């Protein structure tokens, strides 16, 4: 008996010692918060906005843009990155053109010249710095534009986009598999938990119409109606639902006289539900757990633009529910990220909340000397910027002036305000983001909250920030433009260290030169001075002190871009405003204008018809008969940068499309793609 008591005593002492060695929940969460603060200071975020001169273009036009790059939650001009990479992609996802824009005090500018003989379609312009891809390549600035066929005569439609039957072996932009009618569900906080009431947001879409308005009910397995549902805005809506143990209900939707059924997400056996509500100047945060969930303390972390603001412990001392109340004035404007963490640093639930700005900020006004301008007349505008107190501000602005009739116009379009404060922190394409800021009515605020429930995502991953060791960036900020590369032996492909790398580039007006030594991994980098356009470059390698060059494979690190994204429905089916009344008014004004000219100039011809031969029909048939096309030079460069050997046309075609077969007959080359000769 004494031996048994001694054993129990020793076990109790060891157990108490181990518990004493483990940090308390408060110490653990305080440590997590401090790590997140250090991480956010070491790795501040960047955002990009491009201001374009138009909303749609024709083949042969020039896309002009002004770039703004900001840093941190205050949106100050970036001091992190100098080069900004801007790419023009076609509808399939091929890079048609790319530019490196020099950023000075957070600003830069550039342009893309659309080939007149190029293909029409819905083109994407995206912009990013290397630092923006350091942790996740899903985020970059992205905007889609219709590029219409060039008009060559009155017979051509004013806005015409070709349809192409491209070979399936070509690189294709990802597409979301859309059913005839689809409904997706988004439980508040991320998931449903058995026995806990939850708010469930949903989005209803149609393959042929985009977002749709629907109504219906949620039925339990026994046929009982649990709740009703209906859309509020842009196919989005929400309802309250409590999942029962072992049950998975269905939503019964009515649309165009037909009934569709969709299963709700499966509820977890245990877990937490995070709900948020705003009223007046208060933010109420409620967290619930069911009886099957661990009795441990969890922590609620509040962040803004990746910067942690505060944290609060949730011990659940009075039951299975906790209420935290905050004043909205204690937080900055914009999107707040609320994350619920357990002791291991895992995120149990997450929610985005939008706090409307408390002041109007900078107010811009524009006035002109007249409301309508005749063709070729001078347009005079007065622009004024004032702060929230009405005091004038000295600043720089980018302004685009375009014809209302020749340009497409979409209500509630993107602006620098919507891009930086809203869409840059959301997932997927956001249709008409300006709608959510048109006023501060209850309906719009509710629609904005629905948008965050549907499109909210973990852009700033708190679990990555508090991990030990913390996540490491793939790239570092670029203070200047550098040529990065790696040297490998030509035959064995081994890293070549301690080799001298020299770079020579020359144009009609500029000469660039630089050198570097490769490190133990064969890597090198050479700074490149400012220049515009493109320059043919020669890179040479040799052993230090040797006279002869060293035959080496040079792999350049220049192929980095975000992953291709799928287009939203409205990006390929833009809903332009009807300007027929304005066009009628313009025609009447133009008639008066031309009449006034005729009275003063007896040599003005009333109408001139210019006839010219232009193979419009043949060009259109040629466009629509294209099955595949490749930017050979860019693709060969990319292959060689990966270390692949490409020397002949056959090598190239065999790599890009195995369905291509080349036959040589009587010194003639016949290219056969999928059984069709060209």
- Quick one: what percent of the chain has pLDDT higher than 70? 86
Q: What is the pLDDT of residue 11?
A: 41
Confidence of residue 5 (pLDDT cuts 50, 70, 90): low
Q: What are the E-state strand segments in 54-120? A: 57-58, 62-71, 76-77, 83-89, 95-102, 107-113
Question: What pLDDT is attached to residue 592?
Answer: 53
Instruction: Using CB atoms within 10 Å of the CB of residue 371, give its burial: 0 to 12 exposed, 13 to 18 middle, 19+ buried.
Output: exposed
- pLDDT value of residue 175: 81
CA-based radius of gyration for the chain? 31
Nearest by Cα to 678 from 454, 54, 113, 669: 669
Q: What is the pLDDT of residue 577?
A: 78
Whole-angstrom Cα distance, residue 574 to residue 572? 6
Q: Residue 194's pLDDT is what?
A: 95
Q: 32-41, 228-237, 576-585: which has the minimum mean pLDDT?
A: 576-585
Q: Which residue has the higher pLDDT, 396 or 260?
A: 260
**CA–CA distance, 46 with 389 (Å, rounded to integer):** 29
CA geometry: angle at 188 spanning 186 and 193, to 5°? Answer: 95
pLDDT tens digits, one per residue of 427-463: 989 999 999 999 999 999 999 999 999 998 877 888 8
pTM: 0.87
pLDDT at 422: 93
Convert the pLDDT of each residue in 283-337 to its tens digit.
999 999 999 999 899 999 999 999 999 999 999 988 899 999 999 999 999 999 9
- The confidence band for 675, taking pLDDT boundaries of 50, 70 and 90, is very low
Choice between 448 and 632, residue whose per-residue pLDDT is larger: 448
Q: Which of 74-78, 254-258, 606-610 has the lowest mean pLDDT?
A: 606-610
Task: Please give the Cα distance from 132 to 327 (Å, whole number).
Answer: 32
- pLDDT band of residue 590 (cuts 50, 70, 90) is low
- What is the Cα–Cα distance from 627 to 82, expressed in whole angstroms? 40
pLDDT score at 652: 84
Q: Please report where in the chains the tokens 């379609």 appear, as a residue.
A: 121
Note whether 211 and 291 are within 8 A (CB).
no
176-190, 359-373, 419-433, 476-490: which range is least confident on average? 359-373
Q: pLDDT tens-digit profile of 648-657?
A: 877 888 788 7
What is the average per-residue pLDDT within 205-224? Answer: 93
Q: Which CATH class is domain 176-269?
A: mainly beta
Helix, strand, coil proportions of the chain in percent (round to 5)? 20, 35, 45
Instruction: Assess whether pLDDT exceeds 90 at residue 595.
Output: no
- Torsions phi, psi for 22 (to 5 deg): -80, 135
């Amino acid at each position: 008996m004494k031996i048994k008591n001694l054993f129990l005593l020793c076990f109790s002492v060891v157990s108490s010692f181990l518990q004493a060695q483990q940090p308390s929940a408060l110490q653990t969460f305080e440590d997590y918060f401090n790590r997140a603060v250090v991480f956010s200071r070491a790795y501040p975020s960047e955002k990009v906005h491009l201001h374009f001169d138009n909303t749609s273009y024709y083949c042969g036009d020039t896309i002009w843009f002004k770039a703004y790059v900001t840093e941190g939650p205050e949106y100050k001009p970036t001091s992190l990155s100098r080069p900004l990479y801007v790419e023009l992609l076609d509808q399939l996802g091929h890079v048609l053109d790319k530019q490196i824009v020099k950023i000075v005090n957070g600003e830069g500018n550039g342009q893309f010249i659309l080939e007149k003989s190029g293909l029409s379609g819905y083109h994407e312009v995206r912009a990013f710095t290397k630092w923006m891809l350091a942790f996740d390549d899903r985020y970059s600035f992205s905007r889609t534009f219709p590029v219409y066929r060039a008009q060559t005569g009155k017979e051509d439609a004013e806005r015409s986009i070709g349809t192409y039957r491209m070979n399936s072996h070509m690189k294709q932009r990802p597409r979301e598999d859309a059913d005839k009618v689809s409904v997706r569900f988004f439980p508040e906080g991320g998931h449903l938990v058995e026995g806990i009431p939850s708010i469930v947001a949903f989005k209803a879409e149609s393959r042929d119409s985009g977002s749709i308005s629907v109504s219906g009910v949620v039925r339990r397995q026994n046929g009982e109606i649990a709740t009703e549902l209906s859309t509020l805005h842009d196919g989005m809506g929400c309802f309250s639902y409590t999942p029962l143990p072992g049950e998975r209900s269905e939503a019964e939707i009515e649309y165009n006289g037909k009934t569709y059924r969709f299963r709700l997400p499966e509820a977890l056996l245990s877990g937490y539900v995070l709900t948020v509500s705003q009223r007046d100047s208060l933010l109420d945060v409620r967290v619930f757990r069911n009886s099957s969930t661990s009795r441990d303390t969890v922590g609620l972390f509040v962040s803004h633009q990746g910067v942690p603001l505060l944290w609060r412990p949730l011990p659940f001392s009075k039951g299975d529910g906790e209420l935290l109340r905050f004043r909205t004035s204690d937080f900055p404007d914009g999107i707040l990220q609320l994350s619920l963490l357990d002791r291991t640093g895992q995120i149990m639930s997450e929610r985005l909340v939008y706090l409307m700005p408390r002041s109007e900020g900078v107010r811009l006004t524009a006035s002109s000397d007249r409301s309508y301008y005749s063709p070729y007349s001078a347009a005079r505008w007065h622009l004024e910027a004032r702060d929230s107190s009405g005091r004038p501000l000295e600043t720089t602005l980018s302004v685009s002036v375009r014809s209302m009739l020749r340009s497409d116009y979409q209500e509630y379009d993107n602006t620098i305000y919507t891009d930086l404060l809203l869409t840059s922190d959301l997932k997927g394409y956001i249709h008409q983001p300006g709608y959510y800021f048109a006023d501060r009515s209850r309906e719009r605020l509710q629609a904005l909250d629905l948008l965050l429930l549907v499109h909210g995502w973990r852009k700033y991953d708190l679990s990555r920030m508090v991990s030990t060791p913390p996540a490491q960036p793939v790239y570092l900020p670029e203070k200047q433009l550098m040529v990065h590369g790696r040297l490998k032996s030509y035959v064995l492909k081994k890293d070549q260290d301690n080799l001298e790398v020299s770079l020579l580039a020359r144009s009609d007006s500029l000469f660039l030169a630089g050198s570097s030594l490769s490190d133990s991994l064969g890597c090198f980098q050479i700074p490149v001075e400012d220049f515009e356009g493109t320059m043919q470059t020669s890179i040479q390698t040799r052993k230090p002190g040797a006279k002869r060059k060293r035959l080496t494979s040079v792999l350049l690190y220049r192929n980095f871009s975000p992953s291709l994204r799928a287009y939203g429905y409205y990006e390929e089916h833009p809903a332009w405003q009807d300007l027929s009344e304005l066009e009628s008014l313009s025609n009447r004004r133009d008639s008066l204008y031309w009449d006034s000219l005729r009275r003063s100039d007896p040599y003005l011809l009333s109408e001139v018809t210019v006839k010219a031969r232009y193979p419009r029909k043949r060009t259109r048939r040629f466009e629509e008969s294209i099955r595949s096309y490749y930017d050979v030079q860019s693709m060969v460069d990319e292959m060689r940068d990966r270390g692949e050997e490409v020397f002949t046309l056959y090598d190239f075609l065999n790599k890009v499309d195995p369905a291509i077969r080349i036959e040589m007959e009587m010194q003639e080359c016949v290219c056969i793609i999928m059984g069709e000769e060209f």
